[in-house]
């Protein structure tokens, strides 16, 4: 596959690369997007029925069951060639790679990336809804969808329940994590945006942060995005094809 010349020139010259990924990158591995995951028992439920603090305190077992099912799906999916290409790019001599992702799976880590900022949290981290202590226990994930599943009690404070360490609607992003994301963008000499719609803020504002610093922004997305006015170059190609092609062409 031929890489557009302008994109390849930027990639060859970059030594500090930051990749921002969205739901499209994970969808290539078979992970349903947020709304696609509202199937089966949850088909007729709105986001506020499952992904808000109010939903959690109203009915923790229902919310926990939905997230347990999503976690099971994410755990069975595997990184695609694009995830592995990002990690390979970061292992090249003289290259520093940072990943900022809106996704809540662990495909980047399993694909070999080490410096990953999850701005919306992770399905594989859990915390107490009272004391915020991280949960270190082993979860029992159902093989099939179940409508309700009791969340574990917090062993640290004895008062709370264990919830997903996810940023729900109406909650603020973790300042430390988002601060690291901004630093990763501002410290780059190339930002590669992969599979994001460009409509979920504040993460969608990161390309604008790069442009304000004079950092070139390229997009890898077969469907394009709402970021068209913040891009230097866009390549309408799937991440699993475009990213490996870029990495393979770096030495040509």
- The pLDDT, as a whole number, for residue 224 is 82
- The pLDDT, as a whole number, for residue 184 is 97
Same domain, 46 and 151: yes
Same domain, 98 and 206: yes
> Interior CA angle at 103 toward 36 and 206, to 5°?
120
Q: Is 39 left (phi over 0), alpha (psi -120 to 50) or beta?
A: beta
Domain residue limits at 135: 32-76+123-166
- The pLDDT, as a whole number, for residue 25 is 93
Name the active-site residue from 80, 83, 120, 126. Answer: 120
Same domain, 177 and 231: yes
Determine the Cα–Cα distance for residues 35 and 47; give it in Å rounded to an integer.
Answer: 8
Determine the Cα–Cα distance for residues 75 and 30; give it in Å rounded to an integer.
Answer: 11
Determine the Cα–Cα distance for residues 68 and 143; give it in Å rounded to an integer.
Answer: 9
Backbone angles phi, psi at 127, to 5 degrees: -150, 165
Same domain, 40 and 131: yes
Same domain, 56 and 18: no
Same domain, 224 and 141: no
- The pLDDT, as a whole number, for residue 148 is 93
Q: Residue 104 has which token pair?
A: 């809540």
- The pLDDT, as a whole number, for residue 35 is 66
Domain final residue pick, 108, 138, 166:
166
Determine the Cα–Cα distance for residues 237 and 239; give it in Å rounded to an integer.
Answer: 6
- Chunked into runs of 10 residues, the chain (252 residues) has average pLDDT values of 94 97 92 68 74 95 93 94 98 97 96 96 96 90 88 93 95 95 97 88 90 95 85 95 96 78
- The pLDDT, as a whole number, for residue 94 is 95
Determine the Cα–Cα distance for residues 147 and 145; give it in Å rounded to an integer.
Answer: 7
Same domain, 143 and 227: no
Same domain, 129 and 224: no
Known catalytic residue at 108: no
- Could you tell me which residues come within 8 angstroms of residue 30 by beta carbon, excluding any fewer than 6 positions away? 73, 77
**In CATH, what number is assigned to the domain containing residue 110?**
3.40.50.1220
Query: pTM of the full predicted structure?
Result: 0.93
According to DSSP, residue 154 is labeled P
Same domain, 116 and 131: no
Determine the Cα–Cα distance for residues 66 and 163; give it in Å rounded to an integer.
Answer: 12
> Number of structural domains, the chain?
2
């Amino acid at each position: 596959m031929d890489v557009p010349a302008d994109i390849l020139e930027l990639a060859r010259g970059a030594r500090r690369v930051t990749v921002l990924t969205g739901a499209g990158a994970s969808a290539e591995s078979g992970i349903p997007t947020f709304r696609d995951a509202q199937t089966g028992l949850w088909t007729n439920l709105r986001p506020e029925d499952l992904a808000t603090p109010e939903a959690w305190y109203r009915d923790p077992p229902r919310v926990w069951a939905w997230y347990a099912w999503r976690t099971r799906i994410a755990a069975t999916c595997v990184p695609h060639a694009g995830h592995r290409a990002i990690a390979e790019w970061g292992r090249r001599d003289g290259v520093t790679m940072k990943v900022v992702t809106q996704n809540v799976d662990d495909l980047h880590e399993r694909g070999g990336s080490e410096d990953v900022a999850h701005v919306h949290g992770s399905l594989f981290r859990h915390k107490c809804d009272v004391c915020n202590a991280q949960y270190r226990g082993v979860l029992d994930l159902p093989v099939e969808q179940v409508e309700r599943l009791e969340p574990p009690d917090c062993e640290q404070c004895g008062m709370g329940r264990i919830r997903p360490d996810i940023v729900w609607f109406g909650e603020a992003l973790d300042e430390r994590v988002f601060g690291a994301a901004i630093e990763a963008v501002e410290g780059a000499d190339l930002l590669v945006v992969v599979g994001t719609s460009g409509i979920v803020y504040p993460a969608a504002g990161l390309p604008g942060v790069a442009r304000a610093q004079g950092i070139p922004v390229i997009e890898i997305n077969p469907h394009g995005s709402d970021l068209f006015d913040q891009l230097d170059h866009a390549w309408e190609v799937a991440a699993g094809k475009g990213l490996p092609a870029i990495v393979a062409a770096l030495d040509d």
